[in-house]
Structure 1
Amino acid sequence: MEIQIKNLNFQFKNNIIFQNLNYTFQENKIYVLVGPSGVGKSTFLDLLTKSLTPSQGEVIYHDFSAQEVMTVFQNNQLFPWLKVIDALRLPLKIQKVAKEQQITKVKTLLEDLNLTPLAEQKVATLSGGQAQRVAIGQGLVVKPSFLCLDEPTSSLDMESKEEIQRLILQEQKKHGNTLFIVTHDIEEAAFLGDEILLIRNQQLHPLTNPTKTLRERRDSLDFYEFCIQLRKEVRRR
């Protein structure tokens, strides 16, 4: 399963965002898109998920359908009056999954996300990190082939941020799906990404993450040296 970007152009008014863009996203990888504000990160996410139509070219889903692409947005878009268990069941209800299967899937997910003690609690009463876990759970519960996360930790404190990042890696390893993450956080990009993508001159520039296989990366000098390199690349025009 792949997503192929083929000869894609996108222009907003007189501003050319992407020009003759070609790229292929492969399965079972984590891609992280970084760049300064206004460079087109969220626009690219909308193009990738077909929420936006390119001016020219196409986005092709190979061997899967649009229903297998899920997006978790920055503001998590949770209904505050729902209980956690009902919030996680909601995507399954929309897809008309049988009630027995809903219960089984959500019970497993509650355990995976350490949300079981909060199952009957209303979303409005959750902390930021807890709510973000629920939002990611809504994306995972239908077992998407591609899961897109838009600034998944931007509003969280450092401890909650690192917890969500570990959770993202844990769930991706378990399900083997492809993740596409938009972030402005350099350390987050270096921690999560197999491949890091920079937007420059209306193109995507890939950078392979040399630290991804290191154990205890946050305690590694190599990790922070890569963060410095990546920060310089982002700033370079």
Structure 2
Amino acid sequence: MPITLNNVSFHYGKQTIFTNLNYRFKNYHRYAVIGPSGSGKTTLLQLLQGFLAPTDGTLTKDEDTIMTVFQNNQIFPWLTVAAAVNLPLKLAHKKKDKRNQQVTQLLRELQLTDLKDKRPKALSGGQLQRVAIAQGLALNPQFLLLDEPTSSLDSQSKEKIQDLLIAQQQRRQNSLLVVTHDIEEAAFLGETILIVKDAQLIVIDNPTFAATTKNRRESLAFYEFCIALRAEVRQ
């Protein structure tokens, strides 16, 4: 089921964050959300998830189809990787044999099998992020929302996570929405780019998205789009 915003406004006290938003987030689509600091990117994520309610207007969605991976995701330090991935399934009261099967599959898909008995303190930043993504995918959500998923990673780890997110979205045929401050990341991940600015959403279709080149990050068209996108955010 798509997520639909109908004349949605949101205020923190006297501060206006959004005014009369009208937008429909489609199934089987990839979105990247960018914008100046403090513009409301994370607030949008929290509205979509349901952690915040619109001040005015309505937001229509299926409650069971959305999961969020936050920037400061906290994986309980006493849990092993396998136990951490199992946790959302356990909280959802899935049967044990089903949980074990699902955890095994997720560990394999996210290249975590060899780390299944490790605890968070023994993992790198990229490995921790893969565990968090596995938790987000455990219930096979229709919409996976991620808040700055690569902000603390080095460039090589960042690209691996980006590639993993695309591979998982294509495999599962779900929708992906990534909030990021990284223009290149937005241009790489987003089929549609949403710029949060002046209490509105500016919608930009990504002209490089359908590029067939395997190394899209290295193409001239990709970086020309990044330059244009950066200029749009700064206006």
**Matches of 1:122 and 1:11 in 2, distance apart?**
40
Tell me the alpha carbon deviations over residues 92-118 of structure 1, each in whole angstroms, 9 at most, x when there is no partner. 000010000011111111110011110
Q: Distance in 2 between matches of 1:201 and 1:182?
A: 17
Kept in 1: contact 2:150–2:161 (CA 8 A): yes
Instruction: Please state whether the residue corresponding to 2:4 is helix, strand or coil.
Output: strand
From 170, 174, 179, the counterpart of 1:173: 170
Aligned to 1:51, the other structure's residue is in SS state coil
Q: TM-score, normalised by structure 2?
A: 0.97
Q: Which residue of 1 aligns with 2:133?
A: 136
CA contact (8 A) 1:81 1:124 kept: no
Aligned twin of 1:105 = 102
TM-score for the superposition, normalised by structure 1: 0.96
Pair 1:13-2:10 in alignment: no
What amino acid maps onto 2:221 in structure 1?
A: D
Amino acid at match of 1:234: V
Decide whether the 8 Å contact of 2:190 with 2:209 is kept in 1: yes
Unaligned runs of 5+ in 2: none
**Equivalent residue for 1:127, pick from 114, 117, 124:** 124
What's the CA shift string for 1:35-82, capped at 9, x where partnerless? Answer: 010011111111111111111001101xxx312210001012211221
Indicate whether 1:49 and 2:49 are aligned.
yes
**For this pair of structures, how many residues does the alignment match?**
233
RMSD: 0.8
Name the amino acid aligned to 2:46. D
* Alignment match of 1:115 (pick from 112, 115, 119): 112
Q: Percent sequence identity over matched residues?
A: 51
Distance 2:30 2:200 in 1: 19
Of residues 190, 193, 201 in structure 1, which corresponds to 2:198? 201
Residue 80 of structure 1: aligned partner = 77
Q: 4+ runs of 1 displaced by more than 3 Å? A: none
Matched, 1:59 2:56: no
Structure 2 residue identity aligned to 1:109 = L
Give how far 1:235 is off.
0.5
Give ranges in structure 1 of 5+ residues lacking alignment. Answer: none
1:150 has 2:147 as partner: yes
Q: Indicate the residue corresponding to 2:28 in structure 1.
A: 28
